[in-house]
Amino acid sequence: PRVFRIAVLPGDGIGPEVVAEATKVLQVVNSASPDFELKLEEHQFGGAAIDAVGEPLPPSTLKACQEADAILMGSIGGPKWGVDAKVRPEPGLLTLRKTLGLYANIRPANFASEGLLEYTPLRPEVARGFDTVVVRELIGGLYFGTRKEASAEPDVGTAWDNMIYSEAEIQRITRVAAQIALSTNPPMEIHSIDKANVLACSRLWRKTVTETLTKEYPQIIFDHQLVDSTAMVMVSNPRKLNGVILTENLFGDILSDQSSVIPGSLGLLPSASLAGAPSKVSSPDFKPTHGLYEPIHGSAPDIAGKGIANPIGTILSAAMLLRYSLGLDKPASAIEAAVRKVLDLPATGGYGLRTADLGGKVGTTELGYKVVEAL
C-alpha cells in the first residue's frame, strides 16, 4: 500500500484534545483502507515546545514537517506565553509557514447544516445561505516585511513594520482563488479585498488580480471591494460576499476570523495552508508540495482540559488533508458526510449531539466517537 506520513502538532490549550479526535478518525480511515497506510507521528510545537525545549519550533519538528506528506495541527498559544514573554509560540508558526512556503490559506465558512442556523449571532434570515471561502495570502505583507522594534536604534520610541508585495506573490494566490472558484459549477464569484484608495500594495493587488483573472480565467466573475466596507457588509448582508474572498495576509486574518463566527460556531470550521503550484487545486489529484491543516479556532485556554471543546473543526481539517495533500477524495467525503450526519441528529432527551459551543452537553471524546460510528 502507499504510505503517507502525517506530522501531527497537537500544540497548546484545547489543541491536544481536538487533535486526538481527528487522529482517531484518521486511524479508522486507515484501518478501513487496504490500499494506503497513514503513518501519524506527533511532534512538539508552540507553547508546549517552549516549555519542553525552550523554542516553539524545534529543528526536529521543522524537519518532520518538511518531510511529511501533510501536517495536522491543533492550536498554539495561551496566557502563559503572552506578548511580553521572551519566547512566544507565534513566531514558530510564522517560521513554519514561511519555511514551507505555505502561501495559500483556505478557510471555508458556511453552514455545514441548516440545523445550525439557530446558532448564528446574526438574524437567521440575514445569515441563511452564507457560503464563502476566504483565500488568504499567508507569507507576505506586513507579517513578513522588515520591521523595527521601538527599543531598537535609531529612533528609540518609534516602531515600524513594512507591508510588501510583489506581482508574482499576488499572481500565485490569485490562481489558487481561481481554481477554488472553478471547483463549483457554475464557478463561484471572486471578491478581491484591498484598501486601494490608500495603499500602494493594494493598488498593485487590484491591478494584478484584474490582469490575472481577465487573462487566465475569463470565465470567472470578480469584483474589488475595500476592506472597511467588506467588514461592514459581512455583518449587514453577508450573502453579498458569497463565493471566494481573495485577500492579503492581514486583511485575511481579520476577515476570516470575522466570517468564521457567522455560521454559528467557530468550532466547526477547518482550514488548509498550502504550498506549491496551484494549477490543480480543484481536481482530485491535486497535490500541494506541503499542506498544513488546522481548525480555525485558537487554543481556548479557558476551556482547555475540560473535555468540552468541539473537535469538528479539526476532524474536517483532517478531511481537507486527505483531499488536498494525499489526493484521497473518497475518505475525505466520507468524513464530511459523517460529520453532517452527526450534527443533524436531533437532540434527544435534552442531550444533543453537540458540544457546549453549540448549546449541547456532549464532550469532545464522545463527539469524536459519534463521528467514527457514523463513518
Interface with ligand IPM by CB under 6 A: which residues?
90, 93, 197-198, 228, 253
Question: For residue 373, with 0-12 CB atoms within 10 Å meaning exposed, 13-18 middle and 19 or more buried, which class applies?
Answer: exposed
Q: Which of 69, 194, 253, 357 is catalytic?
A: 253
For residue 131, indicate whether it is catalytic: no
For residue 356, what are the CA distances in angstroms to 26, 64, 102, 302, 308?
Answer: 24, 34, 33, 13, 6
The window from 223-231, 239-247, 283-291, 343-351 that contacts its own copies (CB under 8 A) reads 223-231
Interaction with its own copies in 153-192: which residues (CB under 8 A)? 155, 157-168
Using CB under 8 A, pick the residue from 102, 181, 262, 274 that binds its own copies. 262
Closest CA to 136 of 191, 173, 95: 173
For residue 344, indicate whether it is catalytic: no
Q: How many CA atoms lie within 13 A of 157 on its CB side?
A: 1
**41 is in the binding site of which of ligand IPM, its own copies, none (Cβ under 5 to 8 A by kind)?**
none
Q: Tell which phi-psi region holds residue 327, choosing left (phi > 0), alpha (psi between -120 and 50) or beta.
A: left
State the nearest-atom distance from the C-beta of 12 to its own copies, in Å: 13
Q: How many residues bind its own copies (CB under 8 A)?
A: 63
> Could you say which DSSP state residue 328 is in?
-
- When the beta carbons of 169 and 338 are compared against ligand IPM, the nearer one is 169
State the nearest-atom distance from the C-beta of 198 to ligand IPM, in Å: 5
Q: Are strands 290-295 and 131-137 parallel, antiparallel or unpaired?
A: unpaired
Q: Are strands 36-42 and 104-110 parallel, antiparallel or unpaired?
A: unpaired
For residue 223, indicate whether it is catalytic: no
- When the beta carbons of 147 and 340 are compared against its own copies, the nearer one is 147
State the nearest-atom distance from the C-beta of 226 to its own copies, in Å: 9
Q: Which of 51, 155, 223, 228 is catalytic?
A: 228
Contact call for residues 313 and 295 (beta carbons, < 8 A): yes
Site string for its own copies, 290-309 (x = CB under 8 A): --------x-----------
For residue 228, indicate whether it is catalytic: yes
Contact call for residues 164 and 140 (beta carbons, < 8 A): yes
Q: Are strands 147-148 and 2-11 parallel, antiparallel or unpaired?
A: unpaired
Distance separating alpha carbons of residues 56 and 66, to the nearest angstrom: 16
Site string for its own copies, 192-221 (x = CB under 8 A): ---xxxxxxx-xx-xx--------------
Active site residues: 143, 195, 228, 253, 257
